[in-house]
Structure 1
Amino acid sequence: MVNSHSDGINTLADALDSITEWVSKYTVLPDAYTAPTLALWVAHTHVSTAFYTTPRIVASSPVAGSGKTRLLELIAGVAYMPKQTVNSSTAAIYRRINKALADDGLPPTLLYDEADALFGPRPTPQSEDMRALLNAGYKAGATVDRCEGDSHDVVEFPVFAPVALAGLAGHMPDTITTRAITIEMKKRRRGEKITPYRERTAYAEMAGVREFLTAWSRRAHDDMKTTEATMPHGVEDRPAEVWEPLVIIADAAGGHWPATARDACRSFVFAPEKRPPSTGVELLSDIRKVMGHDPDDDTALVPVDTIRTSELVEKLNKMTESGWRDVDSGRGVSPRFLSRILSGYDVRPVSIRDSLGSGKGYTTGVTYKHGKPFQSGFFDAWGRYLPTPSISEIGDNGDSSDVAGQTPQTLSPFAESVGDTSVTSSATGDKKVTENKPLNSTVTSVTDVTDFSNSGEGKTTEVPHPDDDIVTLIVNAATDAGGSGVGHGVIGKLVREATGDGSRALAVADEMVAAGLLDVDDQNRYYMKETA
């Protein structure tokens, strides 16, 4: 007798709950968010053409026998028109999609097992064609052109379709994983119990759910086309594209599902990066340690603003745990190697002056040539490319405004002033920069140095948060320094000690320069702007 999971399926929420329970019954999943995510993804395959994107599912694991194939089998039991592909050509795939759209108005759900074999370390023309097809098929309207018939008429074949892939970790192209929700599968521990899986029995259990989703998709499809979702705070750009279809479906289901979907979204999007970092990212991370700016290094010395190329090369090659001595065919880190890798992050060697005299080196901040930025410096690269806050650092409501003293991609007080001397006020908050005592230094009121555009006759200018505290810290430091100026390292250290993160310090300082509040010399020391 089949123990049905389809009894009492009257609403979309019922169907999603049933899929969640059913998937969890037959496989061990890495966390509590995976089964609800799979339920939402399965539902989206029944209305996929209502959305602009169709996120990929990637089931990954470091070793075989971790449940990846079982996950694809379970998806096949409830997804719309599942097609498990084995060594299919790209031509067969796009023709299959075209036929399904012509017959039923929806593309099939494509399931690829052992995808790591397809995307091996040595790409072939066939694997590159398949990768291009899977990448393009992520967005609605994508097509491939082929000549057909004796007259060689150009025919457009649509490639938009839901896709789930399974394979060993580390072999999936980044162009696919950045469009995907990656599920890190693990081997089952001794003692972890699941229900023995028999495909015929398991599929029969979900017959009612499949029938409900078929009927629901006909009713809901057009409404889904015009719906937009409010994404969790900090989920933007590509992650927002990936997750919006699932959040829209969760909102339509109601009950606990809107909150469950957003919790799952935050869990996946803000999860710590599990893939090995690229050479460039690893290099940036180690340079941050060498220069004393690593927030997680309690043993760090006083941070430095600049470092000679020769000193940086020597210190990197001495970091035996990072293996820099073995890079570049065993030659180790060299000035040429540094320049080649770091230039991709807009970090370039510049002329510096220190106790040894003049020389070439690197700096944490922006440098200028002929009045224009020449390179962005390490602070900008560290803030952009080193890991973002994990979910454990973000509040239950997803608001990361208290994480490291800033929200992701926040607008600084001077964002509208670059290249101009005016400052556009914002209504994002009622905070005013008045007095703040972040450390033991003498505090200078910002009231006397605001109103850069001369529009308020000495009145306190409202500066939108979260950068107003950073502005106050920089103004105080530059005022205390007087004619000697204040360097990058001091500014970064002050801001990091006061807010928990110094990654925005130099960006705000440079925006203050552009706004006419600070001056900066060729040694990247900041001074209060002299006033008449």
Structure 2
Amino acid sequence: MTTISPIDGARLLDEVEAFHRRFNAFPTPAAYVAVVLWNAHTHLLDAFESTPRLAFLSPEPGSGKTRGLEICGTLVPQPMVAVNASPAALFRAVSGLEGGRPTILFDEIDTVFGPKAKDNEELRGLINAGHRRTGVSYRCVGDGGQQTVQAFPSYAAVAVAGLGWLPDTILTRSVVIRMRRRAPNEHVESFRSRIHEPEGHALRDRLAAWADSIRDRIDGAFPEMPEGVSDRPADVWEPLLAVADAAGGDWPRRAREACVELVAAASAGDKASLGIRLLTDLRDSVFCGADRMPTAQIVAALNALDEAPWADMNGKPLDARQLAKRLGEYVTADNEPIKARNIRTGAGVAKGYYAADLYDAWKRYCPTPKAAESATTATDPE
């Protein structure tokens, strides 16, 4: 009787990483770890409650985003390459009406959600709903007055590539790889589909076989999260850490290091979170310990900040009306919307904001000030 040797998951993931490194110049080692784990998790979707989106984003063309997506396409089950795909086509594909569940690879996503694109709420809803295994999208089917509402399954793995940024509802469900153009000393092989696709497909088939061998063990697993990673980032990374734990070797450690690094990078650079940026700038660069400040002074201070977005908000500087609108989305400790109040100054009474009204929002949404972190580190016993 022939004995089948178990598949070495760690070695297999090492080989997948080496395959990526031949053709992709990712910005950090953490990016390779995340992409490899995402490739592997697509073969185990039904073992998880959610599937993270993988987003290759860059500020300029020619940064390797499409190539990253292309290599992923050789490694995942049933890749469906979508460029400007209609919501109707994706609804049918993801729901299984056109065969088995695909892995969606959406290139040029900036043409769908970029600043020059039209509203695409249907597609955004599909991508968001499909993050969860229980996700469905409701559509009207039938003709004329005979239409009925039908729920279509939306759960599917999705990777996207594009310029700029994505809507925050998609970004928070994504592992973001911030691509950049290769430096002169960074060299990769030219990818030739006829030659290299079969190599990727061979790795894909081995990933599928390994996934089948660990499916029962990984189903319902709750991997230990790194300290400080919780809520939505934990949902995003849970499937990837579960895959790493099943593989063993160095992958559990590397996966958690990559998780911490990429979650921190996403938090620090998320342009979609302008509200948090505003609150943080008010605390650290404008109020700076003051207990109140007139609106005109606040607006002037914000617009004068270097490397801040406030001086160019869609071609115009931030004004008092925009400030009031953005701060009004947050509430005080008494659960009242933050709003301008009368402030008595040497020149009379002016509208402005009180630090006491902002304290609760600062505590809930803003990262810990660096000075406070340093003080805590200095006083904490070993």
Please give the per-residue CA displacement for 1:238-270, whole angstroms capped at 9, x wherever unaligned: 100000000011111111111111001001001
- Output aligned runs, 1:246-285, within 5 Å: 246-271=240-265, 273-276=268-271, 280-285=275-280
Structure 2 CA distance for partners of 1:67 and 1:314, relative to 1, 3 Å: closer
Structure 1 counterpart of 2:126, from 126, 129, 133: 133
Q: Is the 8 A contact 2:284 2:369 kept in 1?
A: no
TM-score of the two chains, using structure 1 as the length reference: 0.61
* Structure 2: distance between partners of 1:195 and 1:389: 44
Match of 1:33 in 2: 30
Higher helix share goes to which structure?
2
Give the stretch that moved more between structures: 59-68 or 339-348. 339-348
Q: Is the 8 A contact 1:270 1:388 kept in 2?
A: no
Give the stretch that moved more between structures: 46-55 or 343-352. 343-352
Q: Is the 8 A contact 2:340 2:351 kept in 1?
A: yes
- Cα offset, 1:197, TM superposition: 1.6
* Structure 2: distance between partners of 1:389 and 1:34: 27
* Structure 1: distance between partners of 2:367 and 2:278: 13
Q: Is structure 2 residue 155 aligned with structure 1 residue 160?
A: yes
Q: Secondary structure at the match of 2:95?
A: helix
Structure 1 counterpart of 2:361, from 377, 381, 396: 381
Please give the per-residue CA displacement for 1:465-502, whole angstroms capped at 9, x wherever unaligned: xxxxxxxxxxxxxxxxxxxxxxxxxxxxxxxx989xxx
- Output aligned runs, 1:334-349, within 5 Å: 334=320, 336-346=321-331, 347-349=338-340
- Cα offset, 1:352, TM superposition: 5.3
Match of 1:362 in 2: 353
Structure 2 CA distance for partners of 1:92 and 1:360, relative to 1, 3 Å: closer
Give the stretch that moved more between structures: 35-44 or 148-157. 148-157
Please give the per-residue CA displacement for 1:6-41, whole angstroms capped at 9, x wherever unaligned: xx9932112111101110111211001111211110
- Cα offset, 1:324, TM superposition: 5.8
Structure 2 CA distance for partners of 1:498 and 1:116, relative to 1, 3 Å: same
Match of 1:78 in 2: 75
Q: Is the 8 A contact 2:310 2:317 kept in 1?
A: no
- Output aligned runs, 1:346-425, within 5 Å: 346=331, 347-350=338-341, 360-365=351-356, 377-387=357-367, 403-404=373-374
For structure 1, the residue ranges without an aligned partner over 5 or more in a row are: 1-7, 294-302, 366-376, 394-401, 408-496, 500-532
Q: Is structure 2 residue 211 aligned with structure 1 residue 217?
A: yes
Q: Secondary structure at the match of 1:165?
A: strand
* Structure 2: distance between partners of 1:10 and 1:329: 57
Q: Is the 8 A contact 1:45 1:79 kept in 2?
A: yes
Please give the per-residue CA displacement for 1:156-191, whole angstroms capped at 9, x wherever unaligned: 221110000000013x22211111011111111113
Please give the per-residue CA displacement for 1:203-257, whole angstroms capped at 9, x wherever unaligned: 2224442222222233332332221111111111110000000001111111111
* Equivalent position amino acid for 2:212 in 1: R
* Structure 2: distance between partners of 1:24 and 1:268: 19
* Structure 1: distance between partners of 2:219 and 2:363: 36
For structure 2, the residue ranges without an aligned partner over 5 or more in a row are: 332-337
Match of 1:424 in 2: none
Match of 1:145 in 2: 138
* Structure 2: distance between partners of 1:98 and 1:309: 52
* Structure 2: distance between partners of 1:290 and 1:24: 42
Bigger relative contact order (CA 8 A; separation at least 6): 2
Q: Secondary structure at the match of 1:344?
A: coil
- Output aligned runs, 1:180-219, within 5 Å: 180-219=174-213
- Output aligned runs, 1:22-101, within 5 Å: 22-99=19-96
- Cα offset, 1:128, TM superposition: 2.1
State the structure with more CA Rg: 1
Structure 2 counterpart of 1:242, from 220, 233, 236: 236
* Equivalent position amino acid for 1:84 in 2: V
Structure 2 CA distance for partners of 1:90 and 1:355, relative to 1, 3 Å: closer
* Structure 2: distance between partners of 1:352 and 1:255: 62
- Cα offset, 1:337, TM superposition: 4.4
Q: Secondary structure at the match of 2:176?
A: strand
* Structure 2: distance between partners of 1:90 and 1:328: 29
Structure 2 CA distance for partners of 1:39 and 1:345, relative to 1, 3 Å: same
TM-score of the two chains, using structure 2 as the length reference: 0.83
- Cα offset, 1:332, TM superposition: 6.1
* Equivalent position amino acid for 1:143 in 2: V
Q: Is the 8 A contact 1:61 1:167 kept in 2?
A: yes
Q: Secondary structure at the match of 1:167?
A: strand
Match of 2:319 in 1: 333
Give the stretch that moved more between structures: 25-34 or 271-280. 271-280
- Output aligned runs, 1:484-523, within 5 Å: none
Match of 1:474 in 2: none
Q: Is the 8 A contact 2:7 2:210 kept in 1?
A: no
Q: Is the 8 A contact 1:148 1:154 kept in 2?
A: yes
- Output aligned runs, 1:411-450, within 5 Å: none
Match of 1:177 in 2: 171
Structure 2 CA distance for partners of 1:315 and 1:224, relative to 1, 3 Å: closer
* Structure 2: distance between partners of 1:322 and 1:329: 14
Q: Is the 8 A contact 1:284 1:382 kept in 2?
A: yes
* Identical counterparts, % of pairs: 38
* Structure 2: distance between partners of 1:328 and 1:207: 45
Q: Secondary structure at the match of 1:99?
A: coil
Q: Secondary structure at the match of 1:45?
A: helix
Structure 2 CA distance for partners of 1:43 and 1:190, relative to 1, 3 Å: same
Structure 1 counterpart of 2:292, from 306, 310, 323: 306
Please give the per-residue CA displacement for 1:286-339, whole angstroms capped at 9, x wherever unaligned: 43355552xxxxxxxxx32223445445555666876867769868633x4443
* Equivalent position amino acid for 2:158 in 1: V
* Equivalent position amino acid for 1:191 in 2: N
